[in-house]
C-alpha cells in the first residue's frame, strides 16, 4: 500500500510515521509513505498557498492551484488516480470498519487542510470522501491524517506480528477490548483475575468475551446495541438432564411461582424502586396477582433443575404477551433465561410477533433479547417518575415494549 499526505508540515507527519511499528514496516519495505509539502507546488515566488475568502470572513483559505498541482504530481508518480481523502470536521466519522475497507486500496492521497479550510472547487474536483476523526476542531488536518494513516497501515499484511493482534482489539468486532494484565501477579494488593492464570484457553476466551461485552455495554451502549443486533444467538444452550419446564396446574405450583416472583421483582426493581414498594413484594401479594392473571388467560411455567423450581415464565394466549420471566440468583449464568424465553415464544404459535415489557434500566436483559430476535418497538408501556405523587419509583425509569421479529 502507498499513502501520500499533502500538508504544509511534512516534517510533522514524517516524524510520527518513521517511528514504532509503522516506521519499522516502512523501513522493511512493507509500506510506502510519502509526505508532500504543498508549498513546493505553488508558483508564487513567496511560496504563498492561501488567500482571503470571497464574501469576507475571518482567516485565510488554502488555494486551489498548489493542492491540485501536488495531486497531479502524485498521479503521475503512481500512474493512476489515488483515492483522495480530505480531513475535515465536516466529514463522515471515521471508524474501525472504514479503516478495514480502506486497507484494501492500493493508493490513498490524504489532503490536510489548514487555516479556515480549502477552496471548495478543488475539493469538488479531486476529493472522493471527507473524513472526520471526531466532533471537535484542530488547527490543521495533520494529526487527523496521522490517525487515519496509522489505523489503515497497521492492518496491512506483515505490519503486525499476528493478524490476531488487531482482531482482538477494540472496535474490530464492534466491541471494546477486554482488560489486560501482565507481571507482577499482585500489585498494590490488586491481583490478576484467577482465570488468566489457569492456562485453560477456552475459559480465558469466555472470560475475555464476557468482559468485552460488559465493558462495551457500560461505556458505549450505542456500540453494544448495534453489536447485539448484528450478532444474533444462532444456538441456545442445550437442555440438560434433570432440567425441564412444567405447566403450572395446581395451587402448590402457583405458590412456587409467587415466591419466585417476589424474589424476582425485588431483585430487578431494587435499583429503581423505593423501600416501601419492595416491602410489598411478598409471596402473598404475588399469589393474589398471579391468580387473577391466570383467570384472564395467562399460563405459567416453572423451570426445574433436579426437581427444584429455579425459574418461571408466563404467556398470555389472548394477547400474545410474555412476562414474569425470572431465574433465581443461584441458577443464573447457565442460559436458563434464554431457554425459557425461547420456550415461551414457541408456546404462542398463533402470534407471529409476541410482545413483552422490560424496564429500560435492565440493559443486560435487553441486550440478550435483542440477540434472540427481539426489538424495541418505541412504545413506552409505563413511565415511573419519583416526582409524581403515589409512585413507587426511587429513580425515573420506563417499561419498554419489545416485539419478536425473528
How many other C-beta atoms are found inside a 10 Å radius of the C-beta of residue 277? 17
CATH number of the domain that residue 327 is part of:
3.40.630.30
- Residues 249 and 396 occupy one common structural domain: yes
In this prediction, residue 165 carries a pLDDT of 53
Q: Is residue 236 part of a domain?
A: no
Indicate if 6 and 150 belong to the same structural domain.
Answer: yes
pLDDT, residue 161, reads 77
Pairing of strands 298-305, 243-247: antiparallel
In angstroms, rounded to a whole number, what is the distance separating the alpha carbons of residues 311 and 326? 5
Q: Please tell me whether residues 263 and 135 are part of one structural domain.
A: no
Asked whether residue 267 falls in the same domain as residue 393, the answer is: yes
In a 3-state reduction of DSSP, which class is residue 97?
helix
Is residue 175 assigned to a domain? no
d(CA 208, CA 179): 8
Final residue in a domain of this structure, among 177, 199, 230: 230
pLDDT at 57: 87
The SS3 call for residue 257 is helix
Q: What is the pLDDT of residue 65?
A: 97
Residue 176 domain-assigned (yes or no):
no
Return the pLDDT at 267: 87
Residue among 330, 191, 355, 338 at smallest CA distance from 264: 330
Residue 73 and residue 116 in one domain: yes
Give pLDDT tens digits along the chain (406 positions). Answer: 999 999 999 999 999 999 999 999 999 999 999 999 999 999 999 999 999 999 998 899 999 999 999 999 999 999 999 999 999 999 999 999 999 999 999 999 999 999 899 999 999 999 999 999 999 999 999 999 999 999 999 999 999 976 655 555 555 678 998 999 999 999 999 999 999 999 999 999 999 999 999 999 899 999 998 999 889 998 888 999 999 999 999 999 999 999 999 999 888 888 899 998 899 999 999 999 999 999 999 999 999 999 999 999 999 999 999 999 999 999 998 999 999 999 999 999 999 999 999 999 999 899 999 999 999 999 999 999 999 988 889 999 999 999 999 8
- Judge whether 179 lies within some domain: no
| 177 domain residue, yes or no | no
Asked if 10 and 153 sit in the same domain, the reply is yes
Give the distance between the most distant pair of CA atoms in the chain: 97
- Convert 203-219 to b/e letters by CB count within 10 Å (16 or more is b): ebeebbeebbbbbbbee
Based on the domain organization, do 260 and 117 belong to the same domain? Answer: no
Residue 112, C-beta contacts closer than 8 angstroms, at least 6 positions apart: 5, 6, 7, 8, 9, 87, 140, 141, 142, 144, 145
Contacts of residue 357, defined as CB under 8 A and 6 or more positions apart, other chains included, come to 323, 381, 382, 399, 400, 401, 402
| Interatomic CA distance for residues 65 and 47, integer angstroms | 12
Do 255 and 393 have their domain in common? yes
- In terms of residue numbers, what domain contains 321? 243-404
**Triad 191, 197, 203: Cα angle to 5°:** 115
Q: What burial letters (b/e) apply to 366-394, b meaning 16+ CB within 10 Å? A: bbbbbbbebebeeeeeeebeeeeeeeebb
| CATH, residue 124 | 3.40.1280.10
- How many domains, the chain? 3
Q: Is 348 within a domain?
A: yes
Final residue of a domain: which of 165, 196, 217? 165
Instruction: Give the whole-angstrom CA distance, residue 111 versus residue 133.
Output: 14
Contacts of 170 by beta carbon, 8 Å cutoff, 6+ apart: 96, 176, 177
Provide the pLDDT for residue 350. 97
Same domain, 70 and 137: yes
For 322-354, give one letter per residue: b (16+ CB within 10 A) or e.
bbbbbbbeebeebbbbbbbbebbbebbeebeeb
Considering the domain architecture, whether residues 385 and 364 belong to the same structural domain is answered as: yes
- What is the chain's Cα-based Rg? 30
261 and 329 fall within a common domain: yes
Would you say residue 387 lies in a domain? yes
User: In whole angstroms, what is the distance from residue 16 CA to residue 14 CA?
Assistant: 6
In a domain, 237, yes or no: no
In terms of domains, do 17 and 51 share one?
yes
Amino acid at each position: 500500500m502507498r499513502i501520500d499526505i499533502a500538508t504544509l508540515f511534512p516534517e510533522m507527519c514524517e516524524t510520527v510515521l518513521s517511528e514504532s511499528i509503522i516506521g519499522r514496516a516502512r523501513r522493511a519495505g512493507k509500506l510506502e509513505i510519502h509526505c508532500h509539502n504543498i508549498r513546493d507546488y505553488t508558483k508564487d515566488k513567496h511560496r504563498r498557498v492561501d488567500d482571503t475568502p470571497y464574501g469576507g470572513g475571518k482567516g485565510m483559505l488554502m488555494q486551489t492551484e498548489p493542492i491540485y498541482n501536488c495531486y497531479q504530481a502524485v498521479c503521475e508518480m503512481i500512474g493512476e488516480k489515488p483515492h483522495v481523502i480530505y480531513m475535515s470536521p465536516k466529514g463522515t466519522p471515521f471508524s474501525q470498519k472504514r479503516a478495514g475497507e480502506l486497507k484494501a486500496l492500493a493508493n490513498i492521497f490524504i489532503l490536510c487542510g489548514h487555516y479556515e479550510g480549502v477552496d471548495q472547487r478543488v475539493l469538488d474536483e479531486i476529493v472522493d470522501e471527507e473524513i472526520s476523526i471526531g466532533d471537535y476542531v484542530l488547527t490543521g488536518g495533520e494529526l487527523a491524517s496521522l490517525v487515519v494513516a496509522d489505523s489503515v497501515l497497521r492492518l496491512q499484511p506483515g505490519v503486525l506480528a499476528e493478524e490476531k493482534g488487531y482482531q482482538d482489539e477494540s472496535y474490530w468486532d464492534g466491541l471494546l477490548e477486554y482488560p489486560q494484565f501482565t507481571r507482577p501477579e499482585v500489585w498494590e494488593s490488586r491481583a490478576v483475575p484467577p482465570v488468566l492464570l489457569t492456562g485453560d484457553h477456552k475459559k480465558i476466551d469466555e472470560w475475555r468475551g464476557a468482559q468485552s461485552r460488559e465493558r462495551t455495554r457500560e461505556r458505549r451502549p450505542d456500540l453494544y446495541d448495534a453489536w447485539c443486533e448484528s450478532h444474533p444467538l444462532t444456538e441456545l444452550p442445550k437442555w440438560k438432564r434433570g432440567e425441564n419446564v412444567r405447566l403450572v396446574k395446581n395451587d402448590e405450583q402457583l405458590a412456587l411461582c409467587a415466591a419466585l416472583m417476589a424474589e424476582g421483582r425485588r431483585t430487578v426493581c431494587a435499583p429503581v424502586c423505593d423501600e416501601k414498594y419492595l416491602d410489598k413484594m411478598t409471596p402473598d401479594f404475588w399469589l393474589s396477582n398471579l391468580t387473577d392473571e391466570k383467570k384472564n388467560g395467562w399460563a405459567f411455567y416453572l423451570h426445574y433443575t433436579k426437581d427444584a423450581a429455579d425459574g418461571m415464565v408466563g404467556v398470555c394466549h389472548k394477547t400474545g404477551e410474555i412476562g414474569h420471566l425470572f431465574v433465581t440468583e443461584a441458577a443464573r449464568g447457565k442460559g436458563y433465561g434464554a431457554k425459557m424465553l425461547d420456550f415461551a415464544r414457541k408456546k404462542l404459535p398463533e402470534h407471529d410477533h409476541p410482545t413483552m415489557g422490560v424496564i429500560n434500566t435492565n440493559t443486560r436483559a435487553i441486550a440478550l433479547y435483542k440477540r434472540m430476535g427481539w426489538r424495541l418497538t418505541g412504545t413506552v408501556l409505563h413511565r415511573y417518575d419519583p416526582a409524581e405523587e403515589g409512585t413507587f419509583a426511587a429513580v425515573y425509569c420506563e417499561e419498554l415494549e419489545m416485539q419478536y421479529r425473528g
